[in-house]
Amino acid sequence: MGRAPALLSQFLSLSTTAAPHFRASMTCRLNPRKYLNGTAKIPPIRENLRCLCSVAVSEPATSEPSSTPVKKRVVSGVQPTGSIHLGNYLGAIKNWIDLQNAYDTLFFIVDLHAITLPYDTQQLSKATKETAAIYLACGVDPSKASVFVQSHVRAHVELMWLLSSTTPIGWLNRMIQFKEKSLKAGDENVGVALLTYPVLMASDILLYQSDYVPVGDDQKQHLELTRELAQRVNYLYGGRKWKKLGGRGGAIFKVPEPLIPPTGARVMSLTDGLSKMSKSAPSDQSRINLLDPKDVVNNKIKRCKTDSFPGLEFDNSERPECNNLLSIYQLVTGKTKQEVAEECRDMNWGTFKPVLTDALIAHLHPIQVCYGEIMSDASYLDSVLAEGARKAADVADNTLKNVYQAMGFLR
């Protein structure tokens, strides 16, 4: 995503109905001694996550009885690099609309992750505001969710440094995305931040004592690292050690679980059905941007890659582009997979492409209108981000205070 692997950035879309809940059984059976040399591993996130009608999570060590139920917390964010496209929207932001009704949610613009590779300093601030406006235009409600800019809460960077002191370098060297991007950029163009950004991502999550993190297939490895760090810090500094320093004892961090929807996990490129739709792809033809005008959407769908098979169908491995375009149609119309399959079974591409174009334009138009209204009222957007940062800082500062105390700092 963009110029650097984004925090939580390929976040997956739930259906347009009530958001289902998910859990992964990821019980950690760890050898404490291995924490001291950095060899401990948490079992990888399983592929066969089960869809459940309720979420089962162990209670945190510090929870106390309450007369009112406390919502589980979800955090997520997108980089302000490039244009927000259909993949970001269907894979993440659209999902947030359901999540904000069921969870305590924090959605932020991860601007600190946007500088891990060379970037345009003249555009960063502008792109950050535009991304925030898109969040709101898509339906994120600041009365239900905290919307803020990552760099406006300084605890993110402070906690990253503290976590860095306990992160074995071998854990970072195994990150696949670092290897891929560093090979493309070359050693002379790669800063330390590209290697250490997963620690910042862990800070983003652990800072808010998150219960769940929406993740895609390409982000599972990063969440595993976050979980490993949480367990490592809890072992090295939590429990009785923390209590002897005047703390409450117990776990310092919650160990977050992945939240993975059953459909819409990956929106693919319009020019290659085997590649993910991406901001960093050189051709703008490969993606539908949320702010693309009608004629541009029409032109991109007309020119998108298809195949020569008769009819249209889902889940044929020889027809990745067909599966992708039908999936997009399903997600923007809110129809079921079966309804789309029956509707489009006998269509050819000449018939289907105008239908898909009309559906995309109809879905994006109200978002574009709302976006324009929000961007025209700078004071409103500023107030939303300021209030979101204040609420986030209240939670973040408490976590940071506990970490400093548990690590032995003079406060």
Looking up residue 203, the CATH number of its domain turns out to be 3.40.50.620
Residues 344 and 235 in one domain: no
Element (H, E) at 195: helix 192-206
Is 109:132 a contact under the CB 8 Å cutoff? yes
Here the CATH number for the domain that contains residue 312 is 1.10.240.10
Choice between 2 and 222, residue whose per-residue pLDDT is larger: 222
pLDDT attached to residue 261: 63
For residue 186, what are the domain limits?
73-264+378-407
Total domain count, the chain: 2
Q: Of how many residues is the chain composed? A: 411
Mean pLDDT of the 378-390 span? 97
In a domain, 316, yes or no: yes
Weakest-pLDDT range from 125-134, 155-164, 260-269, 317-326: 260-269
Which is nearest to 259 in space by CA: 79, 38, 10? 10
In a domain, 399, yes or no: yes
pLDDT attached to residue 25: 34
Banded pLDDT at 102 (limits 50, 70, 90): very high
Weakest-pLDDT range from 61-65, 114-118, 292-296, 307-311: 61-65
Residues 85 and 231 in one domain: yes
Mean pLDDT of the 82-96 span? 87
Residues 217 and 308 in one domain: no
Residues 138 and 225 in one domain: yes
Whether the predicted pLDDT of 362 surpasses 50: yes
In a domain, 34, yes or no: no
In a domain, 54, yes or no: no
pLDDT attached to residue 338: 95
In a domain, 192, yes or no: yes
Express as a percent the part of the chain with pLDDT over 70. 78
pLDDT digits (tens, 9 = 90+) for 188-200: 667 888 889 999 9
Maximum distance among all alpha carbons in the chain?
72
175/198 Cα distance (integer angstroms)? 8
Residues 360 and 383 in one domain: no
Mean pLDDT of the 83-92 span? 88
Residues 300 and 345 in one domain: yes
In a domain, 276, yes or no: no
Residues 371 and 382 in one domain: no
168/43 Cα distance (integer angstroms)? 17
Whether the predicted pLDDT of 319 surpasses 90: yes
Banded pLDDT at 29 (limits 50, 70, 90): very low
Residues 110 and 243 in one domain: yes
Banded pLDDT at 70 (limits 50, 70, 90): confident
User: Strands 73-78 and 104-109, how do they pair?
Assistant: parallel
Whether the predicted pLDDT of 47 surpasses 70: no
Mean pLDDT of the 33-46 span? 46
Banded pLDDT at 44 (limits 50, 70, 90): very low
pLDDT attached to residue 220: 74
Q: What is the mean pLDDT of the chain?
A: 83
374/356 Cα distance (integer angstroms)? 28
14/86 Cα distance (integer angstroms)? 14
Choice between 219 and 21, residue whose per-residue pLDDT is larger: 219
Residues 144 and 259 in one domain: yes
Task: Name, in order, each residue with C-beta under 8 angstroms of 144's C-beta and a sequence gap of 6 or more.
Answer: 100, 101, 105
Integer CA distances (angstroms), 126 to 80, 83, 140, 321, 376, in order: 9, 12, 20, 34, 13
Task: Name, in order, each residue with C-beta under 8 angstroms of 326's C-beta and a sequence gap of 6 or more.
Answer: 312, 313, 314, 340, 341, 344
Which is nearest to 250 in space by CA: 259, 258, 241? 241
Residue 55 CA, distance from chain mean position: 20
Instruction: Write out the E strands in 85-150.
Output: 104-109, 145-149
Weakest-pLDDT range from 11-25, 219-233, 239-253, 370-384: 11-25
Residues 255 and 389 in one domain: yes
Whether the predicted pLDDT of 15 surpasses 50: no
Residues 368 and 401 in one domain: no
Whether the predicted pLDDT of 237 surpasses 50: yes
Banded pLDDT at 284 (limits 50, 70, 90): very high
Cβ atoms within 10 Å, residue 132 = 25
Whether the predicted pLDDT of 30 surpasses 70: no
- As a whole number of Å, the CA-based R_g of the chain is 22
Element (H, E) at 207: none
Phi, psi of 74 (to 5 degrees): -125, 135
Quickly tell me which residue has 């002191």 as its tokens.
165
83/77 Cα distance (integer angstroms)? 15
User: Strands 73-78 and 50-52, how do they pair?
Assistant: unpaired
In a domain, 162, yes or no: yes
Residues 92 and 201 in one domain: yes
User: Torsion-angle region of residue 186: left (phi > 0), alpha (psi -120 to 50) or beta?
Assistant: left
Catalytic residues: 181, 276, 279
Q: What is the DSSP letter of 112?
A: G
Strands lying side by side in the sheet with 212-214: 145-149, 104-109, 73-78, 212-214, 257-259
Is 10:87 a contact under the CB 8 Å cutoff? yes
In a domain, 10, yes or no: no
User: Strands 145-149 and 104-109, how do they pair?
Assistant: parallel
